[in-house]
Chains A and B, each alone.
Chain A
Amino acid sequence: MSSPWFERDPASLRALEHTLRARYPTLHVFLENGTCHVRGTIAVVENDRYQLDIELPDDYPDSLPLVWETGGRIPQELDRHVLPIGALCLGVPLRLGIALKGRFDIESILEIPVRNFLIGNSLVERGEDWPHGDRAHGVAGILEEFDELIGTDDKMRVSRFLLDVLQGKIRGHWPCPCGSGLVLRKCHREGWETIRKAPRWLLHHSLDAIMKDLERRTKKARAG
């Protein structure tokens, strides 16, 4: 097994500690059992502080960290976007990858999805809606993202489109997957470009989730 990132690259660990001191003085690095955690609190606005435990992945900063709210403030419920393991579900990974341009470094994570999530939670606590909406659970939420990007939430069309993107086959004169009848470059070109530039592992993540969902539903239909 390869050594964790902070052993392979001690300079990155020092940079992380420097970033925390400079920007987040109440967050601290802890190395435990070969894993790097960032723990402490951040204020999202004056008088509104959350206690966090962020587990950085082995390939930091290339993939998403796990983020726990450890102050007991956010109910451990699916509808509050908390996973069964207690970590916060900050967003659809593909959307987060696009928002963060594929780099999940601590500043980007804290300033964009974590801050958005926590400010949203503070509003939900006061009976307000999530300020930027919230995605449906599971594959439906992934498809909502594709609906925004390429104008369709149809599983077959989205999975076909993703396969073609991953294989580098799509061309601008192809029909747009939204079904408008226009060619892609004159319809959802921006969404296509955005998806094409996203990290491949995030496209695979979306595709795998959709394919598994299709298989599950097919099996269920056959059994029923």
Chain B
Amino acid sequence: MNENDYLKELLASQALGEDSDEWKALDEKAAEIEGIVRAAYPGSDIHFTHGGSRAKGTMIREDYDLDEVCYFQNDDAAPGDTLEEIYENLAALLGESYQVRRKRSPLRLIDKKGRDVHVDFVPGRYVDQSSWDVFIHQNDGDKERLKTNIVLHVDYVHESGCTDVIMLAKLWKTRNGIAIKTFPLELLVIEALKNDNTGNLDDRFRRVLGAFADAIDELSIEDPANPTGNDLSHALPDSLRRTLSKIAADTLKTADDYGWEHVFGKLQTTKASFPHVQVLRNAAAAAPVRTAPWNEEE
């Protein structure tokens, strides 16, 4: 298998189809959340839709989520007068069924047993009667509200012609523990391939890593839904740029010296998300030297 074939097989092994357990679980959660919200606001005309990697076609087994978007009409005061009120009221409502972690704009939902359900809930309100652009609440940053458009976000990524490289870049990010959020990474990949998206997957992924390694400061990202209004600099601070550059350079050198299979490992042989207990027990039994954890503190 050549380098490009390996990368294609790797992506195929990461694919999550509609019949996958993960996909079905997301559908069930989305329906459950929608039911909770509709029941709480029976008089509201609420628009639910999906964003995130599933809508963009960039979902991979090791890094997937669903942005469950919930938009109220511009003149609907039932969920709250201000965006912050809407955000907090929805957080309180969902907090009855889930643990809710407040992120910059979304509410990350964790089940009551502490398991991540891979859903970011994003409440918002349409800017006007056209039901197109929306305002969402922001916890950090200069502005308390953000004007955005999830349809434009999804289309921008989905129609970029880069979704395969984006999926690889997401796997690379996850495997290397890089603390970049998915959307800025997607924008960076598209930007890095903006002038040349030719060649096979290997060529294009190397081009992206090369741009990260050698020219990360020349890559700028902007919100396709509001290019001049939304500042994304918080999503790509200088320290993160340095980290991306360093790991990209390391990865390219490792791939040159040893090949992609060494970087990403053997293709996954199981579709399970977690290892079986017996696999872990066997691994523990095979330890060359046994050590037991301790704690210095009493």
Contact = CB atoms under 8 A, between A and B. Distances in A.
B250 to A, nearest CB: 5
Interface in B78-125: none
B253 A126 contact: no
Query: On chain B, which size bracket covers the interface?
Result: 35 or more
B275 A47 contact: yes
B177 A40 contact: yes
Contacts, number: 158
Given A48-B280, A119-B280, A78 B297 contact: yes
> Which residue, of A30, A47, A71, A82, has the highest number of chain B Cβ atoms within 10 A?
A47
Given A48-B275, A132-B291, A123 B254 contact: no
A47 B250 CA distance: 23
Interface in B237-280: 243, 246-247, 250-251, 253-254, 257-258, 262-263, 265, 268-270, 272-275, 277, 279-280
Contacts of B254: 21, 25
Interface stretch (A2-10, A85-93, A171-179, A188-196): A85-93
A137 B293 CA distance: 9
Contacts of B269: 46
Interface residues of A, number: 62
Given A78-B297, A83-B295, A112 B280 contact: no
Contacts of A123: 277, 280-281, 284
Interface of A: 17, 20-22, 25-26, 28, 30, 39-41, 43-49, 51-52, 70-71, 78-79, 81-84, 88-92, 95-96, 99-100, 111-113, 115-117, 119-120, 122-123, 126, 128, 130-142
Which 3 A-B residue pairs are closest in the complex by CB-CB distance? A138-B298, A131-B284, A81-B293
